[in-house]
Chain A
Amino acid sequence: MSSFALVVTTSPIDNKTNTALAFAEQLLADGHILKGIFFYQDGVLNANKYVQTPSDELNLLTAWAEFNKKTSTPLHLCYTAGERRGLTDSDDDQFNHNIHPAFTISGLGELVVLTCAASKVVQL
């Protein structure tokens, strides 16, 4: 049994992101510890609650949220990378808070803490 940290850098329209979720689920099914998942680069787009998915495809946002609820695995979002891609937690005029509550707003410092605490780091 190992402790893992995952780094997701692919967007919700990249099939690799489905693999990341499946990998995370399998880790827990196999009895490993998953310290958390860090979303960076285009991976932050997974947190946008307005992303729509055709009804016959897997809605990754719903799937990540369910995974978070079911397993309490922290989903850390790099806010700087998010802001560049239109994510905001502001409710001021002209802004709409569009980050799904399943995600924790973090910074790259959390990447350090998370990857340091895990015995294995996998980037997908």
Chain B
Amino acid sequence: MMPDQIKRYAIVNTSSTFDKFNAKEALDAALILASYEMAVSLFFIGDGVYQTQASQNPELIDGKDFISSFKALSFYDIEDIYISEACLAERQLTTNLAFKDAKLVNKDEFSIFLNQADVILTF
């Protein structure tokens, strides 16, 4: 059954890439929402910014490389991706990102974009 209206969903990632299974289950939820033609945006804040890095070595822990699929998010029409610039900087991470297109935003911008969502799910 397809929902009868379109809502805007924000998927907020606060866990590092391989901290429990949060990152993968967040991505699964985002892709399903997008496949139902919902408007989905992704947010990365706190340790969630670790997920944004292009250079990761999941094979070292026999992990699945779901990060490489971030490049394909535009095929699902997931194009609004917001990363906390301050959280990246605090962790001394690079701006070599796993996305084709993502926006580094300050705290105020992060809040503004997040407030545009109808539904916020945090992982």
Contact = CB atoms under 8 A, between A and B. Distances in A.
A23 to B, nearest CB: 16
Interface residues of A, number: 18
Interface string A96-116: 000000000001110111011
Interface in B1-45: 1, 3-5, 7, 9, 21-22, 25, 28-29, 32-33, 36, 38
A111 B3 contact: no
Contacts of B122: 123
Specify which of A109, A113, A116, A117 lies most central, judged by the most chain B CB atoms within 10 Å of its CB: A116
B119 interface: yes
Contacts of A32: none
16 contacts: A7-B121, A40-B29, A41-B25, A84-B21, A111-B29, A111-B32, A112-B32, A112-B33, A112-B38, A115-B9, A116-B4, A116-B5, A116-B7, A117-B3, A121-B118, A121-B121
